[in-house]
Structure 1
């Protein structure tokens, strides 16, 4: 027999665990759990679909398996499957958990006949049809528990399931001997089960497994099983969760009188699993099998409750009803944790969906989750005009020590590392509140209570572009009509719009456009000259780093020489757009033909060196991770430390509705509300002492969203943006213009003053409104 674990290591682990008091084991496990998962405990809202209750195995504790005479039909038909799935969908479920016995057709002629009559080669073949029907007819994602499978089975079922599972239960061959619970059950042979789990790893299937404790195994055998799971995961990375399930004796079984494992034994095994499998592994315990002990399970290392159904019973443990979701949330919160919904595919796997899900499933997974891979629980999206949720203080007392330490370091004037910044973005509850409050206190200390704005006009002179950025719904590839007409405004029209803006009180024109095939470096200089000829005193805030790069390279000039010429022509500042995410692995996905990270930084550095101030932006909420956000903030900070040329940092939530890459299923649907708030707050914290101004985008967030950000570290409303068009092209509905009267009302609602500023953040004495 193949050795799946190191016997010496197993003995060493058992000795260590046995010599440690349970309270200490649980304390160590809880520290590890919070290190890996913060204060979040997850669950999946599901329906339980028992496709067949026939099974060729005769496990001595099981009441799921039935004889044919006990069933109305060997299998649920597809109409019954869909009825269950639709009932779940109507109550907000997202997972269809298919459970079934192993290969019943090899034992029961009635199963074989039923399948043959309907043209199915096997139970697995019928399972594929049922899963496909659920995918086609509902929004639920299937999770499959069909027993032992081979390579071909995984290949056939992977396009139809977000995840699959098979409990190890135990790696003890003893339990398969006569008189033991797995005797007469060929599919419970440990080597066969471990091999099936190994094949799932090779097939890149996100996989659930675990132990069933209290069926006659020893603690050493539990440790051996955990080590086998650990080593398979180390090889393939596919174990999304490990269940530590306690045996519950059931009437009418051979083990009806067997002793159940105590709570202390259960807690010991959960803690052992956490310590052996590490802080990042998801450890699950069924919440319906330990009523009243959920807080203790959390302390021992649990961070997931598995699937909980508001519709269907637990068909494996029908005597133990699921806890009501409100009760589950209450008990989880009383333990200082936050209950958050996940999909059938675990959060870590949903974050890396191109690897861990079939292309047929990737779009629905991406659109359902936020950056952590958890379900978007608040129906809010940037640009859609959704009402901003209230910023209510959390009642959950739990805190993440790593977040508290990071905030303390900033308070002492220290800069945070990439990992510490990324950790801030995971904040929930009291940590979320603490970050927001701390960011707003920093804002007050650095720039006071005044909310600033500039009166400006956007002039997007062309939407024809040589580049193919996946997130951009503004640019057109030619003069043909693509989601609206293509255009190229001549210089006289630019001059006319500049004059109109001046007459309406604007002090700045913001000029950006696509990279038109006929444009070269002279074009941009001519645009600046047209503006200055029309209104000599107008501040020219123009040209993304991509446009600067294009202009310089078409003339064969270095960035500094080219920008120096534009400055002499009248260019005053640059917008820090085209940054998106300053990480090339992200840029390769969303804008593969655009300038890379170092080119963007080089343009900004050159602008600062020739005396041109710039803004800095981030566009977030598409394919990137929190680590990318942290990396972006650090790169901006590093350049600011070198040059001091950034005037403000502007978070720009991704508006997804018309973005080509989203329409093709390639991105998430923008950041969640929690993430949008945290981006403003964490930017204030991470850039403290470097960039004084954090701007919020009313275009992306709407007035009520912008107001929330102004209470979370931001101090600037940006510009009035007459004729805003880029976000509108992406499907944004928050308007083309936000006039001073509306800004003043917003500031008043927060009890703070509003002041007009220049582009360079000098306060203007004259406060004037302008007519629409």
Structure 2
């Protein structure tokens, strides 16, 4: 599409501008219409400027304080947090201490010389004590002042308003307002770009400028953004006349004028820019603004007024949602920093703010929908019905092709994970219909026992709270290394309680060799010859191969002779080396994982496949992972099931350090199960959901979104519990059956490879005695003959 010259917009018909702007907006943002749930914190209403239209600025009054106290600020922020807000918008006048003695005296009493110094203190308090993300509108600032505020805010803003110097002359709206000089404001915006600060700016229309000057201002904003890439949103704000101001009788711009200017902003700034118009300044007409190409409603507060325009109340969020849906768009809450900037968090945020952004964001970079994370109990709430009636054609087409068994393209698959509202429900319902066609209404599970033979590990995976090393005693539990007699005892007890499988996995102990794994397998087989041994992740296989100097194939054959039946497809995390270099840099890479699993398949082993999602990766990485699994299954046919494992952040090292998101949102959990069902069709018939990470309610929802298997009863689950999950260590057969029947499905106990289980074995599981206490054998300090060095335990 040819670039449109600014001056040509002056003669372009409004209808043509609106159509062009809407098309550009849809190209850049699809159907998403964002807004920011915020609280408005007017730290001070003193200002050294005398803008002719402003009622926010107030002179000091006898007996009144000039600044909100720290506790008043926190009270507003706490109320916002309770109401579901994510943004704390600090608005204040420009440097009032330069004009008012009262401001200087009060600042001194607060222990500060400047308003901005005090602002930095209270913004940090809001961040640390409430988790709200500060966005700062503090007027014109120097480089040093903006740099000072960067560690306590995720974004900053300054309205350019206009580039007309005329408005600063006598009789103009900005007369006697030194901080409204266009060149001063443009320099502040430019410096923000040099400092890498996500920035908000915009224009104010109807204060005496011409349309040509509006276009000139938009081009000035565009030119700075092209150079630095930091302007994350542009606001087109319409002047509203206010009583008791110099411009009380000035005419306000009408809706057509606002629509023209907004469409011009979209056309000049392009499809990717975030453009907003405050909905409260257009009252009943605000839904028409969508026609001009906006993709954002700005900050809307459920508890605080617009202190700059107190006469214009915020529209209710329900009203915003209804108006947005009427335009066939989906309302999505965002953070004060937009998704594109969340995606490059380390570039755009000071180190002090990075963890706070991650904590508040979902994988797409929008705001988390609620306070839930994997491992927590899912809130008891009715499902929200979709607002839109029509599907996104691209999503509908991708789903149709997947139902037909076609291999999806990476980009199309990643787009499915963005789905919301009616598109989300279509994906989940389609996946569930496919599940019914493949598996019927039977939900399966296996009665099994996890035996984690050691939690000592030489690897430093950022997501793992289970493994223990020299520096990890602060995490749950103490280091242990099970005695073989305890492994045998637990195997025998599992069999006696109706178990058909034991699953062996553990840390990569620096003393272990391939012989250790062979001995563990023989121990289980000797204890209960008929039990199914599901054991050893690809990482453990690789460790055994390295220590014995064998090929992968030869070591797997030895394990088969020792009694190994199948392998868990864990240690996969995300099969993309870009992600693995962050979360597990010393672990197997993607090709090595696929080689071990593919080799296992080729010599007759069946394995599961897993994904651990919701930490630092993107939807594109999810898509790549699924396609790796699909392609290997097409080659070998060795996967029995696919198991989505939501990241539990509470006590994972990178969660504790604030280096990861708080796991996937529940929308993303549902989508992972549903999209996996579609993407792996018809090659992998079984999709499992993790009750230990999602709880019964979460697992039930996933069983209605394409999953057909509840996994294992587990008996002694310890890895997820070490990460902080609230759910128990065992879900016995009777509880499995009850959960499955509660959603109208039929339970069936299965073997590890989805075979039938005898009535005798089933009865044994239903009549099982309570588990006896486990014994965790502490590690002993010995000389490692294999590695030739002394060790206690790793790290």
Same fold (TM over 0.5): yes
Provide, for residues 312-367 of structure 1, a one-character-per-residue CA deviation record: whole Å limited to 9, x for no partner: 32222122122233433443344444433333333333343333222223333322
Aligned equivalent of 1:29: 21
Aligned equivalent of 2:724: 731
Tell me the secondary structure at the aligned position of residue 283 of structure 1. Answer: strand
- Deviation of the 1:282 alpha carbon: 1.9
Aligned equivalent of 1:210: 202
Aligned length: 763
* Residue 150 of structure 2 is aligned to residue 158 of structure 1: yes
Whole-angstrom CA distance in 1 between matches of 2:385 and 2:127 = 39
Between 323-332 and 641-650, the greater mean CA deviation after superposition = 323-332
- Deviation of the 1:263 alpha carbon: 1.1
1:768 aligned to 750, 754, 762, which one? 762
Provide, for residues 586-624 of structure 1, a one-character-per-residue CA deviation record: whole Å limited to 9, x for no partner: 222222222222221221122122222211101111122
* Residue 219 of structure 2 is aligned to residue 227 of structure 1: yes
Provide, for residues 728-761 of structure 1, a one-character-per-residue CA deviation record: whole Å limited to 9, x for no partner: 2122232222222222222222322222332222
Whole-angstrom CA distance in 1 between matches of 2:656 and 2:51 = 48
* Contact map agreement 2:162 2:214 (CA 8 A) in 1: yes
CA RMSD, Structure 1 to Structure 2 (Å) = 2.6
* TM-score normalised by the chain length of structure 2: 0.90
Whole-angstrom CA distance in 1 between matches of 2:272 and 2:758 = 55
Whole-angstrom CA distance in 1 between matches of 2:487 and 2:125 = 56
Aligned equivalent of 2:460: 468
Aligned equivalent of 1:485: 478
Aligned equivalent of 1:708: 701
Tell me the secondary structure at the aligned position of residue 50 of structure 1. Answer: strand
1:728–1:72 Cα change, 3 Å: closer
* Residue 378 of structure 2 is aligned to residue 386 of structure 1: yes
2:646 aligned to 653, 656, 664, which one? 653
Between 210-219 and 407-416, the greater mean CA deviation after superposition = 407-416
Aligned equivalent of 2:178: 186
Whole-angstrom CA distance in 2 between matches of 1:119 and 1:496 = 66
1:506 aligned to 499, 511, 515, which one? 499
1:23–1:647 Cα change, 3 Å: farther
Aligned equivalent of 1:268: 260
1:102–1:443 Cα change, 3 Å: same
**1:627-638 superposed matches below 5 A:** 627-638=620-631
Aligned equivalent of 1:662: 655
**1:551-700 superposed matches below 5 A:** 551-700=544-693
Aligned equivalent of 2:126: 134
Tell me the secondary structure at the aligned position of residue 189 of structure 2. Answer: helix
* Contact map agreement 2:630 2:680 (CA 8 A) in 1: yes
Tell me the secondary structure at the aligned position of residue 194 of structure 1. Answer: helix
1:379–1:536 Cα change, 3 Å: same
Between 538-547 and 441-450, the greater mean CA deviation after superposition = 441-450
1:172–1:688 Cα change, 3 Å: farther
Whole-angstrom CA distance in 2 between matches of 1:425 and 1:272 = 32
- Deviation of the 1:681 alpha carbon: 0.4
Provide, for residues 102-123 of structure 1, a one-character-per-residue CA deviation record: whole Å limited to 9, x for no partner: 2333344444455456553333
Tell me the secondary structure at the aligned position of residue 5 of structure 2. Answer: helix
1:515–1:119 Cα change, 3 Å: closer
Provide, for residues 625-673 of structure 1, a one-character-per-residue CA deviation record: whole Å limited to 9, x for no partner: 2122112112222222232222211000111222122122222221111
* Residue 746 of structure 2 is aligned to residue 753 of structure 1: yes
Tell me the secondary structure at the aligned position of residue 48 of structure 1. Answer: strand
2:297 aligned to 286, 305, 313, which one? 305
Tell me the secondary structure at the aligned position of residue 209 of structure 1. Answer: strand
- Deviation of the 1:489 alpha carbon: 1.5
Tell me the secondary structure at the aligned position of residue 56 of structure 2. Answer: coil
1:463–1:200 Cα change, 3 Å: same
Whole-angstrom CA distance in 2 between matches of 1:319 and 1:284 = 20
* Contact map agreement 2:633 2:639 (CA 8 A) in 1: yes
Provide, for residues 48-93 of structure 1, a one-character-per-residue CA deviation record: whole Å limited to 9, x for no partner: 2223333333333222233446994444444544444444445444
* Contact map agreement 2:403 2:678 (CA 8 A) in 1: no
1:515 aligned to 505, 508, 514, which one? 508
Between 130-139 and 488-497, the greater mean CA deviation after superposition = 130-139
* TM-score normalised by the chain length of structure 1: 0.92
Ranges in structure 1 where 5+ consecutive residues have no aligned partner: 1-8
1:606–1:221 Cα change, 3 Å: farther
* Residue 364 of structure 2 is aligned to residue 372 of structure 1: yes
* Contact map agreement 1:543 1:574 (CA 8 A) in 2: yes
1:751–1:274 Cα change, 3 Å: same
Aligned equivalent of 1:292: 284
